Amino acid sequence: MDLLDILGPMRIFGEKNATVDLKINFIAPHNLNPVRSTQQVEITPHYTLDNAPKMDFFVIPGGMGARVYAEKKDVIKKIKARVEEATWCMSICTGAGILAKTGLVDGFNMTTNKAAFEWPVSLGPNVNWIKRARWVQDGKFVSSSGVSAGIDAALYILSEWTSFAHADVIATKIEYSWHTDANDDPFADKYPYTRG
């Protein structure tokens, strides 16, 4: 996984002052061994996909692991069941590829990271991929662009759960220059695309 993909949003939702009462659980596919991020730092899972309790909010980070698990049919099947039972589902960066692979977002609007746009797109030929978006909401799904954009999408979700003013207080508290407009995507033009 990418370290900031998952922990950027968790900095928002884990904040006591966020006024949302979320218990953060990390879920690994098969076992509780520490999961090494692409940036060295390890995170220890609380549950596996088999024994985790029902999640109200299911978050799918990106990173090199997404590419591995997108090809594992048994893992995708279990993730699909988790996405189905959640009230909200968020993907960050190439985590969009995993979500696309479940088939649950066929016909939905989604975005993904701009540096490696083509890979998630290839997994969701029936998804309506949005190239210029910091994040996209469609129904219960919120998909963010790359890495840091997950923080913006998390603040957006927090604003939907509470209020814009409240989410802005949290952003200000962590001195994060939030892209408050989902269409404000300064990275969309930085990479060329041949398809998608």
Residues near a copy of itself, by CB under 8 A: 2-4, 7-8, 10-11, 13-16, 23-24, 26, 34, 37-44, 113-115, 145-149, 151, 172-177, 179, 186-187, 190
- Classified as helix, coil or strand, 57 is strand
Residues 6+ apart with CB under 8 A from 79: 49, 60, 69, 98, 102
By beta-carbon proximity to a copy of itself, the closer residue of 102 and 142 is 142
Smallest distance, a copy of itself to C-beta of residue 64, A:
10
Smallest distance, a copy of itself to C-beta of residue 105, A:
21
Please name the amino acid found at residue 10: M
By beta-carbon proximity to a copy of itself, the closer residue of 102 and 129 is 129
By beta-carbon proximity to a copy of itself, the closer residue of 63 and 124 is 63
Smallest distance, a copy of itself to C-beta of residue 94, A:
12
By beta-carbon proximity to a copy of itself, the closer residue of 111 and 159 is 111
Please name the amino acid found at residue 52: A
By beta-carbon proximity to a copy of itself, the closer residue of 102 and 153 is 153
Distance between CA 108 and CA 102 in Å, rounded? 13
Q: Is 147 left (phi over 0), alpha (psi -120 to 50) or beta?
A: left
Smallest distance, a copy of itself to C-beta of residue 163, A:
18
How does DSSP assign 60-80, residue by residue? Answer: E--SHHHHHHTT-HHHHHHHH
Residues 6+ apart with CB under 8 A from 125: none
